[in-house]
Amino acid sequence: MDPTINGFDYRRVTVAEGVTLNVAVGGSGPPIVLLHGFPQTHLMWRHVAADLAADHTVICPDLRGYGDSDKPVDVDGSGYAKRTMAADVVALARALGHERFALAGHDRGALVAFRAGLDHPEAISQLALLDVLPTLDMWDVLHGASAAVAFHLYLMAQPPGLPEELIGGSPDAFFGHFLDAWTRDPEALPADVRAAYLSASRAAVTSIVADYRASAGIDVAHDTTDRAAGNQLRMPVTVLQQDWGAALGYDAAGLWRAWAPDLSHQTVTCGHFMAEEAPAEVVRALRALLAR
């Protein structure tokens, strides 16, 4: 049996026609929704969620296409647009009785959270984004040999067929590579948790690729429209990132400030999976954001 977040109740919530999300809910008080990244599930928030549940209602879903949530077939390229996935999150919160809530996302979940903040500012009170850049900026800073660190972005951007076949041929090697390469503290991902992530990802190759493919297509179009219109995140925003700006030669805080005028940008020294490697640091940042 896969590990769970201790003390949280699990339920399935319908968020769109034919799409039901697996959700862990715990605590009571002002609501905060936590969105996981790749190649993980809601379980990545287990330490942070337990702390926040002392005085908040904490909602941890598996994103559509991941974990035990539904994995609809992407018919027209919009099924895994961050706009579609953000609408899932707002519908989820409303189904649980929350019209307005704080939102935090890591990695892919941060891209969903970013889009939710742009599309649904009335619903998002505070926004935290962990270890990503906005989609447009991400593509802009990847160039030359240094872009090799993001080879998976280019692989999964290819038309349907080849990426799914290649990844499906050895999914544990593919997904396990990122779990190993992106962490600085292997003990932060104990064997049962790592196995749960691999099992979930193995069963979701097609939908995970669709999520990434959207970020090379429809998500770019949506973000380009917002940038041209001068749309920005209206709520207080906290960004936690590794120092990729120094490694790849860009001003991370400056890129984020163009989207988020009310910004707290912090650089961390842990690995990518910061909610598991440095949960106390993440909790401090989230609690400071929630007090803004």
Question: Which three-class secondary structure state does DSSP give residue 123?
Answer: coil
Burial of 141-163, coded b for 16+ CB within 10 Å and e otherwise, reads: bbeeeeeeeeebbeebbeeeeeb
Question: Hey, which residues are catalytic here?
Answer: 107, 272
130 near 107, Cβ under 8 Å? yes
Neighbour count for residue 227 (Cβ, 10 Å):
15
Q: Which of 71, 34, 89 is nearest to 290 (CA)?
A: 34
Q: Which two tokens stand for residue 98?
A: 């929350």
Phi, psi (deg, nearest 5) at residue 23: -135, 135
Q: Which of 114, 42, 90, 86 is nearest to 260 (CA)?
A: 114
Reduced DSSP (H G I as helix, E B as strand, rest coil) percent helix, strand, coil of the chain, to 5? 50, 15, 35
Give the angle subtended at the CA of 249 by the CAs of 39 and 188, to the nearest 5°.
Answer: 30
